[in-house]
Structure 1
Amino acid sequence: MLRFIIQAVVTALGLWLAAQIVPGVDFTSTGTLVAAAVLLGLVNAIVRPIMVVLTLPLTIVTLGLFLLVVNATMIGLTAWFLGGFVVNGFWAGIGAAIVTGLVSWVAGAPFSSGERAR
């Protein structure tokens, strides 16, 4: 449970930064931002694995770059489900996926070395 909360906070930070940097990504309130982070976590846990398997041939052909499109689709799906969180278009979704992914990668770096030691 604690891991899910930490991941939701990191995702919220990534979405907030994406809203500041990427044109076309916006949210109406802090509550919407938190709800978007939690919903994105659920979408990534349920829908994303199915999409990754279904698009595996395309991901292999593009040497993994298609996963960026899958991540952008998950952010767009979250925005579609949640009023108050807006992603205007494909490129805004790609930008949000890049920013959110980078924030998650940087925030997760201190924890990854401990998992490898086990």
Structure 2
Amino acid sequence: MKLFLKWLLCAAALLFVTSVYSGVEVRSFSAALIAAFTIGLFNAVLRPVLVLLTLPVTFVTLGLFLFVINALMFWAAAGVLDSFRVTGFGAALLGSLIYSLLGVLIDSALGRLFAQK
């Protein structure tokens, strides 16, 4: 139940990103659901490999390179899907930052909600 609720809220967060920032575009809520799933899948499968491969750069930049990796996952999801568009790397960076902040808020709220039960 928690995973399904998180997926729905992340899709809503993606729609919020599109309303706040014009560099990211999602056509509909169903497209946002597919995009949120794709971003989550890329973050689960590709991101750990990229983090491991870029560990020296991440270490030298004191972890700031992780923002670049997040933007690449965001941009890659937009590259795979037709109904999810990002205008460039800068838009992917800003869009992924907003989306990640909303994701942290969602995780925190769901953690509190399901911890009370």
TM-score of Structure 1 vs Structure 2, range by shorter chain: 0.7 to 0.9
Per-residue CA shift, 1:55-85, capped at 9, x if unaligned? 1111111111111110110011111111110
Other-structure match for 2:66: 67
What is the alpha-carbon root mean square deviation over aligned residues?
Answer: 1.7
Determine the C-alpha separation between the residues in 2 that align with 1:59 and 1:13.
30
TM-score (norm 2): 0.87
In the other structure, the counterpart of 1:13 is 12
Counterpart Cα distance in 2 of 1:54 and 1:6: 32
Matched residue, 2:24: 25
Report the TM-score when normalising by structure 1.
Answer: 0.86
Shift of 1:100: 0.8
Partner of 2:54: 55
What are structure 1's unaligned runs of at least 5 residues? Answer: none
**Equivalents in 2 of 1:107, 1:100: separation in Å?**
10
CA distance in 1: counterparts of 2:93 and 2:103, whole angstroms: 15
- Structure 2 stretches of 5 or more lacking a match? none
- Count how many residue pairs are aligned between Structure 1 and Structure 2: 113
Correspondence 1:104-115 to 2 at 5 A: 104-110=103-109, 111=111
